[in-house]
Amino acid sequence: MNVAGQVAVITGGASGIGRAAALALAHRGADIVLADIHVERLAAVRQEIAQLGRRVLAIRCDVSRDEDVVRLAERTEAEMGPAGVVMNNAGVVLRGALEEIGLDDWRWCFGINVFGVIRGIHAFLPRMIERRHGWIVNTGSVAGLVALTGEGAPYVASKFAVVGLSEALALYCNQFGVGVSLLCPGGVNTNLAETGRSIGMTPEREISETRMAQTIQGGQELQPELVGELVANAIRDETFLILPEEVHAQLVRARAADINAFLTARLAGGAT
Ligand SMILES: NC(=O)c1ccc[n+]([C@@H]2O[C@H](COP(=O)([O-])OP(=O)(O)OC[C@H]3O[C@@H](n4cnc5c(N)ncnc54)[C@H](O)[C@@H]3O)[C@@H](O)[C@H]2O)c1
């Protein structure tokens, strides 16, 4: 899809990967709708986009609230025009001692990472199908393809849901001329840790769990600007999977070859 002249809506657009994708798309001639709960950062990114000479709308929108996402779609249509691109990107990390994580924390994580994506689809897809035009980008993670650590279970489970949802969505939307991309980065240098919740973890456990996750990911920490460019390229080239690092493709192949052998080897290696 040619992104020039499209209206691109990006949740979690005030920071990190969302901000970088917004800037990359604006550089290529898209007008931008930024949706986020962080109002100061929202205003700053709004300014950055405006300086590129593109139209921009910044909306305080909590993707865990049905009415906020409905309003996002309504205001986008009314004030910017039809949304050609929607990036369901807002996300948070929940991890910790599984026996101590309460259901409210699970609901918080799934309410943003999974239902946030569902709400975006629910609000924008009918209009895209009607117009037979549009592109949806969902932000998953390498953690949605391979379980990184046991302590990351809530995040892993939420991202696995995003991966499955996105694959099915792509299959479904094809008949209507609506495309889908799934972004699965490893480590990216963003503010993600700021909003994360960590339950019942000792400092030592935190450090060893982080190391374990990094070891399994095996990649490098990427800059968000690179990831933003990859998102814009995927929309242009109409690519489904955006997997920035080859080492993660190898992980997926190992897992796909034999899930049981893959997990057994990790458990034998002392993985938690
Ligand atoms: N940083 C990484 O290493 C990494 C790796 C893989 C996947 N991801 C995913 O990338 C996405 C973007 O994260 P990031 O790394 O850029 O982090 P970030 O914290 O820099 O940006 C996320 C943005 O989402 C916003 N947000 C949080 N909750 C929200 C809500 N309820 N409604 C609306 N906005 C909300 C935050 O205010 C923030 O501006 C997330 O889905 C994350 O899971 C990140």
Which residues in the chain come in under a pLDDT of 70? 272
pLDDT, tens digit, 9 for 90 and up, residues 172-213 = 999 999 999 999 999 999 999 999 999 998 878 777 777 777
Residue 221: DSSP 8-state: P
Please name every residue paired with 60 in a beta bridge, in sequence order, or none if there are none.
Answer: 36
Per-residue model confidence (pLDDT) at position 272: 66
How wide is the angle at C-alpha 31 spanned by C-alphas 68 and 46, nearest 5°? 65
- Global confidence as pTM: 0.96
Torsion 31-190-74-167 (CA) sign? positive
Per-residue model confidence (pLDDT) at position 28: 98
> CB within 6 Å of ligand 1 — which residues?
11-12, 14-18, 36-38, 41, 61-64, 89-92, 112, 139, 141, 185, 187-188, 190-192, 195
Spatial contact of 155 and 210, defined as CB atoms under 8 Å apart: no
| Relative orientation angle of helices 103-113 and 115-131, to the nearest 10 degrees | 20
Unique residue bearing structure tokens 């990094």? 214
Question: Which domains are seen in the chain, by residue range?
Answer: 7-268 (3.40.50.720)
Per-residue model confidence (pLDDT) at position 265: 86
Q: Which is the catalytic residue, given 110, 124, 135, 155?
A: 155
Which residues have CB under 8 Å from 229's CB, separation 6+? 20, 24
pLDDT, tens digit, 9 for 90 and up, residues 3-30 = 999 999 999 999 999 999 999 999 999 9
| Relative orientation angle of helices 203-217 and 246-257, to the nearest 10 degrees | 90
Residue 63: DSSP 8-state: T
Phi-psi region of 228 (alpha: psi -120 to 50; beta: other; left: phi over 0): alpha
**What span, in angstroms and rounded, lies between the C-alpha atoms of 133 and 70?**
19
Residue closest to 76 by CA, chosen among 52, 49, 58, 50 = 58
Please give the number of the atom of ligand 1 that sits closest to the Cα of 62. Answer: 32
